[in-house]
Structures are given as C-alpha cells and as structure tokens.
Amino acid sequence: MKTVDVRFFAAFREMTGTESVSLETAAETVEDIFQGCLSRFPGLFRPEATLVAVNDAMASWSTAVSDGDTVLFFPPVAGG
C-alpha cells in the first residue's frame, strides 16, 4: 500500500466537494487513482480532455504512481 495525495481543480473540486484527499491505495497508475476516486465520489466523471499531473509535472493516464506522490486532476477548460 502507498499513500497518494490527490488534488482536484475547478469542476472536479465542485463534483467531489473537496480540494484534496489523501488515499491509502494499491493503485499503480494515474488511471487507477482516478478509478478509485470514481467509487469514492459518485458525482465524479472524466471528460475526454481531462489533464493530469504527478508531482506538478504533466503526466499521462498510464504514469506510475509511488508512495508520497501528489496526483492532480484538471478538467477541460472552455473559453470564449
């Protein structure tokens, strides 16, 4: 098991009702972390253009996570 901090931005923060959560998890990838969050926060969903970062560096959904990492989820931004 590892401890991973997860931070939610913009619409994700509204969907979860929190800015961040600390997870005890066996997750191996960013995708696994998000799937775990889906079960914890029923209103959460993943739009296609969602961006992720690990320890403040942009990452992919297949990026491995380690104990002590911080995973950030950014929903797509609409502009006009």
Going through 9-56 in order, the beta strands assigned E by DSSP cover 20-25, 51-54
Among 57, 59, 58, 35, smallest CA distance to 46 is for 35
pLDDT band for 77, please (50, 70, 90 cuts).
confident
**What are the chain's domains?**
2-74 (3.10.20.30)
Residue pLDDT, tens place only, 4-55: 999 999 999 999 999 999 999 999 999 999 999 999 998 898 888 899 999 9
Q: How far, in whole angstroms, is CA 79 from its chain's centroid?
A: 22
Among 8, 1, 19, smallest CA distance to 65 is for 1
- 56 neighbors 70 (Cβ within 8 angstroms): yes
26 contact partners, CB below 8 Å, separation of at least 6: 1, 2
Question: Is residue 80 scored above 60 in pLDDT?
Answer: no
In this predicted structure, what is the pLDDT of residue 47? 85
In this predicted structure, what is the pLDDT of residue 60? 96
pTM for the full model? 0.91
